[in-house]
């Protein structure tokens, strides 16, 4: 008798994966809030716009040290882990997983395109869909080789940046000037961006669509594909090694935290000092200054993983239950963050783009965290999935999925 594949039930879910996914979903907002609320250049160069003294400076430093690239790294690793888990479950039922997987990532690409072009250019769903198409081919490679290939993939972007930096003396002056202008835009350029995002939805398109296209082409080709794919491969390996299921020893997870604190954070801190010393100028920043956080963020993300797994092992249900609920509805909550932030900062809502300092941004992040931690468990008392998870599953499984929980 043939067994039809279907979404996993609540009892089949791995709690630690949901908790870690929820934790990463909340954390990624610390990285994205600046892009929602300030001109694009400030993501790379914090001196490009807004105050960076006093508490504002400390908020940026803490966010860069603990958040920037770290939670996206966890998300990427979890995506790789999910590929292996789905394949294992399909194999246990005697069914191939390829069709299901490629429908899943195909629809993710569609969702990513809609998200980026209609709401916010900083979408990562498109990247995950594209990378997932390739990374799937490695799902049955052994853990040691997955680590090797993951590091190789991560190294490609690093090599591209270093190679570009070494070639700078041979660049035409106008090309270098253009790169510096992107990193340090003029007041007129920043004013135009602020005016666009403070305008209506159609006015925003003049900035959103070109930037979305750049993210989906140049940024994908030279940066995101290699980094995201490499992290997905590492995530596959870590899942096979039991790291994400809280199955390793307490000593192992403590070691991850120690490496993050003793090696990862000092390297990132040195990178901050290096970039300030060089005034965040190309080629120093783009080709050399990015290297510190690029690599050390992986170590810090693993430190976060270690901390979350220790919480799961300690059975601290007051922490894990709301985080797991956010994790089970991560897709819906990710888009919800976009809807909330674009409503706050863009002209079709309150139009606060360019007017909110970093301290206030941090307060907004905390408020959104509190809301999502409260609403997600309440939602799951009545529904099996988040609304977008339900839509995605229905499309992937070619069948309308049950949505409401049965009432007793």
Convert 234-271 to b/e letters by CB count within 10 Å (16 or more is b).
Answer: bbbbbbbbebbbbebeeeebeebbebbeeebbebbeeb
Sequence length of the chain is 408
Phi, psi dihedrals of residue 281, rounded to the nearest 5°: -95, 145
Q: DSSP assignment, residue 136?
A: G
Burial class (CB in 10 A: 0-12, 13-18, 19+), 77: buried
Torsion angle, alpha carbons of 277, 282, 283, 286, to 10 = 90
Q: Select from 149, 114, 112 the least CA-distant residue to 127.
A: 112
pLDDT tens, residue order, the chain (408 aa): 344 555 555 555 799 999 999 999 999 999 999 999 999 999 999 999 998 999 999 999 999 999 999 999 999 999 999 999 999 999 998 889 999 999 999 999 999 999 999 999 999 999 999 999 999 999 999 999 999 999 999 999 999 999 988 888 888 888 888 888 888 899 999 999 999 999 999 999 999 999 999 999 999 999 999 999 999 999 999 999 999 999 999 999 999 999 999 999 999 999 999 999 999 887 778 789 999 999 999 999 999 999 999 999 999 999 999 999 999 999 999 999 999 999 999 999 999 999 999 999 999 999 999 999 999 999 999 999 999 999 999 999 999 999 999 765
Contact 217, 324 (CB under 8 A): no
Q: What pTM does this model have?
A: 0.95
CA pair distance 108, 395, nearest whole angstrom = 11
> Which CA distances in Å does 43 have to 34, 278, 279?
7, 17, 15
Residues in a beta bridge with 383: 404
Locate the domains of the chain by residue range. Answer: 10-396
- HSE-CB at 286 with a 13 A cutoff on CA atoms is 22
Would you give the distance in Å from CA 360 to the centre of its chain? Answer: 22
Structure tokens at 255: 């070691």
Q: What confidence score (pLDDT) does residue 10 get? A: 56
Q: Which residues contact 347 (CB under 8 A, 6 or more apart)?
A: 197, 198, 199, 200, 201, 203, 204, 353
CA pair distance 330, 344, nearest whole angstrom = 21
Phi, psi dihedrals of residue 399, rounded to the nearest 5°: -160, 135
Helix (H, G, I), strand (E, B) or coil at 304: helix
> Which CA distances in Å does 179 have to 2, 23, 50, 168, 285?
58, 35, 21, 11, 11
Angle between the 358-380 and 330-345 helix axes, to the nearest 10 degrees? 140
Q: Select from 311, 333, 307 the least CA-distant residue to 388.
A: 333
Q: What confidence score (pLDDT) does residue 1 get? A: 36
Contact 357, 365 (CB under 8 A): no
Structure tokens at 117: 């072009």
């Amino acid at each position: 008798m043939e067994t039809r594949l279907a979404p996993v039930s609540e009892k089949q879910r791995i709690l630690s994966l949901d908790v870690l996914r929820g934790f990463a979903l909340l954390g990624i907002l610390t990285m994205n809030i600046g892009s929602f609320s300030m001109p694009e250049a400030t993501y790379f160069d914090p001196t490009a716009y807004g105050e960076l003294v006093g508490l504002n400076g400390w908020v940026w430093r803490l966010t860069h040290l603990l958040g920037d690239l770290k939670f996206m790294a966890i998300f990427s690793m979890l995506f790789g882990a999910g590929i292996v888990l789905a394949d294992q479950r399909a194999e246990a039922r005697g069914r191939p997983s390829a069709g299901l997987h490629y429908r899943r990532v195909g629809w993710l690409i569609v969702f990513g395109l809609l998200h980026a072009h209609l709401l916010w250019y900083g979408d990562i769903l498109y990247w995950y869909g594209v990378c997932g198409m390739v990374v799937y081919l490695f799902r049955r490679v052994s853990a040691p080789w997955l680590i090797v290939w993951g590091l190789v993939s991560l190294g490609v972007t690093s090599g591209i940046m270093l190679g570009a930096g070494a070639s700078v003396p041979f660049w035409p002056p106008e090309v270098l000037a253009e790169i510096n202008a992107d990193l340090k835009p003029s007041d007129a350029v920043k004013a135009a961006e602020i005016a666009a995002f403070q305008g209506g939805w159609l006015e925003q398109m003049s900035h959103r669509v070109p930037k979305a296209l750049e993210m989906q082409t140049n940024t994908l080709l030279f940066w995101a594909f290699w980094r995201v794919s490499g992290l997905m491969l590492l995530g596959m390996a870590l899942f096979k090694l039991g790291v994400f299921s809280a199955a390793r020893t307490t000593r192992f997870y403590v070691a991850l935290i120690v490496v993050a604190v003793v090696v990862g954070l000092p390297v990132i801190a040195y990178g901050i000092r290096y970039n300030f010393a060089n005034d965040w100028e190309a080629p120093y920043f783009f080709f050399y200054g990015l290297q510190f956080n690029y690599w050390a963020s992986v170590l810090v993300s693993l430190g976060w993983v270690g901390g979350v797994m220790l919480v799961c092992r300690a059975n601290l249900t007051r922490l894990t239950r709301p985080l797991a609920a956010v994790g089970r509805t991560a897709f819906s909550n990710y888009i919800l963050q976009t809807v909330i932030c674009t409503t706050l900062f863009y002209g079709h809502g309150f139009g606060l783009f360019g007017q909110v300092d970093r301290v206030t941004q941090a307060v907004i992040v905390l408020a959104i965290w509190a809301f999502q931690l409260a609403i997600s468990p309440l939602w799951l008392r009545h529904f099996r999935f988040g609304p977008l998870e339900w839509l995605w599953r229905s499309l992937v499984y070619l069948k309308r999925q049950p949505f409401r929980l049965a009432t007793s």
